[in-house]
Amino acid sequence: MTAVPDRRVVLRGVTRRYGTRTALDGVDLDLGPGVTGLLGRNGAGKTTLMRCLATDLDAGSGEVCLLGLDPTRAPERTDIRRRLGYLPQNPDFYPHFTAFALLDYMAVLKELGGRRARHDEVRRVLRQVGLYDRRHSRVRRLSGGMRQRLALASALMGDPDLLLLDEPTVGLDPEQRIRFRNLVSRLAVDSTVVLSTHQIEDVAALCGHIVCLDRGRVVFDGAPGALLDRARGHVWEGPGDPGSGLTSWRLPDGRHRVLTPGSPLPPGEAFGAVEPTLEDAYLLLVGVSGTEPAGAAR
């Protein structure tokens, strides 16, 4: 009987600084197979966390265990790297390589077997991301969305146990986005996937687990339903702009949607409570510049 590989990601008290700036502040995490959505505003620490998980950046102080292995030990770090796929934010590729040659080169670096096995794997991932017909195109001739899909193909090579995707759907058209969701959700049956994104629709469609960072700290770690529960009673719709510094926006029918962090009371007489979306819940959690985050959501 073959042993089931350990696919967990465990962090204990990870604090990562850049000089005097603290990017991660005492982060504890425990992730397993399925898709975890990593949310947070610009500068919250998402990319720093992803780079620590990708072993691209040392984790500073605290403990990290990836796939049952210790990334501070060189041989274990090599094993982790063979078993992980990483799509970094703004990937940049050699522009003169063809799509096929580029992935083949990545496969060599990842030590994915001999030439035939490698080429089979490159063809497989090119088909998965819908780029097989463009395999002989040079990277510089691909569109931005196609380059993003090429980066995804590179991350998918070797069926990784841990897949780290930093803003993967930037530049994808709606059809490709659905294709991406299907691909990732199938992979996440067995693998641990971490999806860092500002696209809340992708999180709603894919993630069974959400982690939200704010100024380097974990401010939410749980199921989407639990995040929605916190927002219930704080989202309203009614006529007119209630003003008073609350987060609100005009809907296409002229009514206003209003968030009342902290207060479970309507912002005006004619306002009725509505079911929160994940975006409402996220905005209530982290607050919007000029407003306070929801007391109840902290």
Rounded to 5 degrees, φ, ψ at 101 are -65, -35
Burial label for 243, CB within 10 Å (0-12, 13-18, 19+), is: exposed
- Can residue 45 be called a binding residue for ligand ATP (CB under 6 A)? yes
Which segment (35-43, 90-98, 118-126, 128-136) binds ligand ATP by CB under 6 A? 35-43
Q: Which of residues 105-134 bind ligand ATP (CB under 6 A)?
A: none
Q: Compare residues 142 and 286 and give the one whose CB is closer to ligand ATP.
A: 286
CB of 203 to ligand ATP, least distance (A): 14
**Member of 37, 40, 267, 276 binding ligand ATP (CB under 6 A):** 40
CB of 57 to ligand ATP, least distance (A): 9
Q: Compare residues 40 and 276 and give the one whose CB is closer to ligand ATP.
A: 40
Best CA proximity match to 32, nearest among 55, 2, 10: 10
Instruction: Quote the CA–CA distance of 87 and 80 in Å, as a whole number.
Output: 15
Which segment (18-26, 137-145, 153-161, 168-176) binds ligand ATP by CB under 6 A? 18-26
Structure tokens at 59: 């984790």
Amino acid at residue number 252: P
Q: Which residue has the tokens 């040392």?
A: 58
* Alpha-carbon 116 to chain mean position: 33
Best CA proximity match to 9, nearest among 46, 64, 50: 64
- Can residue 18 be called a binding residue for ligand ATP (CB under 6 A)? yes
**Member of 11, 29, 36, 47 binding ligand ATP (CB under 6 A):** 47
Tell me how many degrees the CA angle 246-248-254 measures, rounded to the nearest 5. Answer: 140
Tell me how many degrees the CA angle 206-59-84 measures, rounded to the nearest 5. Answer: 45
Which segment (43-51, 75-83, 113-121, 234-242) binds ligand ATP by CB under 6 A? 43-51
- Can residue 42 be called a binding residue for ligand ATP (CB under 6 A)? yes
Best CA proximity match to 279, nearest among 169, 203, 170: 203
- Can residue 46 be called a binding residue for ligand ATP (CB under 6 A)? yes
CB of 21 to ligand ATP, least distance (A): 5
Q: Which of residues 140-179 bind ligand ATP (CB under 6 A)?
A: none
Residues within the interface to ligand ATP (CB under 6 A): 18, 21, 23, 40, 42-48
